[in-house]
Amino acid sequence: MAINWFKYAVPTTFYGLAGKLIPWFALSALILAAIGLYIGFAVAPADAQQGEFYRIIFIHVPSSILSMFLYMIMAGYAALGLIFNTRLSAMMATAIAPTGALFAFISLWTGALWGKPMWGAWWVWDARLTSELILLFLYLGFIALHASIDDPRRADRASALLAIVGSVNVPIIYFSVKWWNTLHQGSTIKFSGTSMHVAMQQAMFTMLAALWLYAAAVVLARVRSIILERERNTTWIAELPEVKS
């Protein structure tokens, strides 16, 4: 049976689908976070050099990965909205931005807390840290620009351009530890393999999956409110049971 995927690109169908998916994503995120934290704190051994401090990795690395991926997804949706003038794409980009900004903030915050005992400083103007800070400012710029324009369609177009131009920062963050001589360590997990203990890997990837699912649930919940707001004058919104009651 062929599935018409374009059907789900329409706010009318997507609204209901998102509503059905949110509880599953939220519940899975909660379960995976509990498993990830259990492995990270009870099973994974202390690091030979960093002792217990390395356990910040289970929130720091997944948050950093998500802050970059969410930006690329946001820019992708913004570009789709700009090119094809699709309503849902722009709404999705708008819904992703606050969650992406929060993950960028958590990444910087936890990085500072890790940096203090390891480097002796909360902050250094290192290429990785500075480019991640720029990512946070790009998210905030996107949110502020969108909020400053009254007409939502014009706001979508203006902020889409910012998102697309800003996406150049994501590869800079990723490759910064290779291109420049940074204080921040290089990638521990590479395509060629890793030196990490298996329990550390399990905890980190479980937490990554948990945060992905959390982000999906929150973004879908936010986009449902945006759909309601923007489509409020349509008949299908008027017929929704939650609006009628």
Partner 1 sequence: MSGLDLWMRENPLTYILLGSYAVAALIFVIEIAMVRHKRTITLQQVSLMQHAAEEENT
Please name the amino acid found at residue 216: A
CB-neighbour burial class of residue 178 (10 A; exposed 0-12, middle 13-18, buried 19+): exposed
In the complex with partner 1, which residue's Cβ is closer, 50 or 175? 50
Query: Is residue 4 within 8 Å of 192, Cβ to Cβ?
Result: no
Q: In the bound complex, what is the minimum distance in angstroms from residue 161's beta carbon to partner 1?
A: 26
172 counts as binding partner 1 under rule CB under 8 A: no
Residue 242 in the binding site for partner 1 (CB under 8 A) = yes
Report the site for partner 1 in 75-114 (rule: CB under 8 A).
98-99, 102, 105-106, 109-110, 113-114
Q: Which of 43, 161, 168, 243 binds partner 1 (CB under 8 A)?
A: 243
Contact status: 12 vs partner 1 (CB under 8 A):
no
What is d(CA 109, CA 60) in angstroms, rounded to the nearest whole number?
9
What are the residues whose beta carbons fall under 8 Å from the beta carbon of 26, sequence distance 6 or more? 213, 214, 217
Which residue of 11, 14, 15, 55 would you call a contact of partner 1, by CB under 8 A? 55
Q: Select from 28, 53, 162, 209 the one that contacts partner 1 (CB under 8 A).
A: 53
Site for partner 1 in 17-46 (CB under 8 A): 37, 41
- Residue 111 and residue 129 in contact, taking contact as beta carbons nearer than 8 Å: yes
> Which of these ranges, 73-81, 136-144, 163-171, 231-239, lies near partner 1 under the rule CB under 8 A?
231-239
What minimum distance in Å lies between the beta carbon of 49 and partner 1? Answer: 13
Alpha helices in the chain (DSSP H): 11-38, 57-84, 87-119, 127-148, 152-166, 169-179, 198-230, 235-238, 241-244
The site string for partner 1 over 189-218 (x = CB under 8 A, - otherwise) reads -------------------------x---x
Nearer to partner 1, 117 or 186 (CB): 117
Q: Using the rule CB under 8 A, give the single segment among 1-9, 73-81, 146-154, 221-229 that binds partner 1.
A: 221-229
Burial letters 97-123, b for 16+ CB under 10 A, else e: bbbbbbbbbbbbebbeebbeeeeeeee
* Structure token pair of residue 88: 């849902």
Cα 135 from Cα 124, distance rounded (Å) = 16
Residues that bind partner 1 (CB under 8 A): 37, 41, 51-53, 55-56, 59-60, 63, 98-99, 102, 105-106, 109-110, 113-114, 116-117, 214, 218, 221-222, 224-225, 228-229, 232, 237-238, 242-245
